[in-house]
Amino acid sequence: MKVCLKNLKYLFYNKSINEFGYYVGNCYIENGMITGFGNEDQGFDQVYDMTNKLAMPMLTNIDCNLEDIIFRKLQSNWDTTKFSSLENTMGQILTSNNKDYYEDIAPMSLFEIINTGTGLIGTRRCYKAVSEAPCYAFCHYPVSRSLHLKHLINQPSIDAYIGSNTSPNIIHGFELRSLYDCDDGSLSLIRDNMKKVKYIKATIGMNVLMSNVVKQKWLKDELQVLNTYNLLHKNTILCGCNNLNEKDIKRIKDVDATVVYTPLMSRALNCPQGNMLACEDEGVLWCIASGSPSSVDCINMFYVIQETARMFPALRKDLIFKAATINPVETLNKILNVDITNQANFTVIDAPYDFSDPNSVFEYLFSKNPYEMQPILMLNGTFVTYQKENKAEDQKNILRSYYKRFDQYAGNPNMFVTEVPQKP
């Protein structure tokens, strides 16, 4: 299949010089791969007139837990303790009432995220819904002792769960969540089963309190705990990371792990913000993502990058955009030992303006209302159209049933009581 994108405005990333470039003309695609550029538009199976369209590397959101979108109703006055307690309490209630809860909720989130131009995501569980969606997905199998996840920790469950979900768009991994929710059994389980998955996702350094709780429990810092179980390496994705010092960042660089910042989620949870510039200066591969919609109420990555720029005016716009597009794909390349960089994976938006260089493109992207962009996702040279199943009333009933339980428990102060882990 030969495709021509005619009259295209194209913001691209040049890996050889580590810079963005800008091109106007025709882009040629064959079998999902970018094969060249020029002025020809004959001899193609499909020609798309891209006049007044801007194509860019596809948006990514590798920390956006799809099922948490249902918690939007309760997001206010957050801190990390309340957030963790909500997930434990409400997650246990919901799953005990409906074993298909995660798969019920995921299509709503997928519809929203894909139709905002995002083609690579990271989420827990939700394998069935994700396998049927047009996107790449880091799918985390949660290994934790938290209230609503500890029942998953058994060997047959892992084999059955991962073995029965083998769609080519899914990359399987283990999720540690926070280390204070883990013990020797859960970490040993991951270490002994690493050959079954491609990566590990762990939340570390969200704030000083969480880091100190881990030290109290393990008598080691978070990176030392991971290293003790051989869980700190190039296939490790570290989220949170607000409470990292210079020595921590160097240790992450030494093992070639990836760091994922969620600045909007950290702001919502009243956490300090991570030092993205320090990672950039040290050469650590770092990404930005939305984080859980239960805390940020948003999985639109244009909004995330714009808010990140407002929060960190010293951080160059091209670095922020790279962290939301190029760096997560490089993480996927590193984990899978493949290179999908030249695949025709684009986020396309309307742009009836003449740009002069990459900087003028960034000024446009960072200033335009993110909810007016109406992006289209192209994967492997094919424009994506993704619709939820036509079960609108069924979905409304699902929401009604969950929100009824929310209304029942939202006023209960005990739902925000957590148990502080003790020393082993």
Contact 297, 253 (CB under 8 A): no
Query: Residues 82-105: what's their mean pLDDT?
Result: 66
Q: What is the pLDDT of residue 417?
A: 43
pLDDT per residue over 289-322, tens digit each?
Answer: 998 877 777 889 999 999 999 999 999 999 999 9
Q: How far apart are CA 281 and CA 338, in angstroms?
A: 26
CB distance 181 to 206 below 8 Å: no
3-state DSSP assignment of residue 11: strand
d(CA 295, CA 278): 26
* Per-residue pLDDT reduced to its tens digit, 323-374: 999 999 999 999 999 899 899 999 999 998 889 999 999 999 999 999 899 8
pLDDT at 239: 95
- 197/202 Cα distance (integer angstroms): 14
Cα–Cα distance measured from residue 361 to residue 355, given in angstroms and rounded to the nearest whole number = 6
CA distance 249 to 251: 5
Which residue has tokens 């989130």? 109
- 91: Cβ contacts below 8 Å, ≥ 6 apart: 147, 148, 149
String of DSSP letters for 257-304: -EEEE-HHHHHHTTPPPP-HHHHHHHT-EEEE----HHHHS---HHHH
Question: Which pLDDT does position 392 carry in this prediction?
Answer: 47
Q: Which residue has the higher pLDDT, 243 or 417?
A: 243
Whole-model pTM? 0.89
Using pLDDT thresholds of 50, 70 and 90, give the confidence band for residue 150.
Answer: low
- Contact between 319 and 21 under an 8 Å Cβ cutoff? The reply is no
How many percent of the chain have pLDDT more than 90?
A: 56
Average pLDDT over residues 144-173: 68
Q: Are 318 and 309 in contact (CB under 8 A)?
A: no
How many whole angstroms separate alpha carbon 127 and alpha carbon 106? 9
For 147-183, b where at least 16 C-beta lie within 10 A, e where not — what string?
Answer: bbbbeebeeeebeeebeebeeebbbbbbbbbbbbbbb
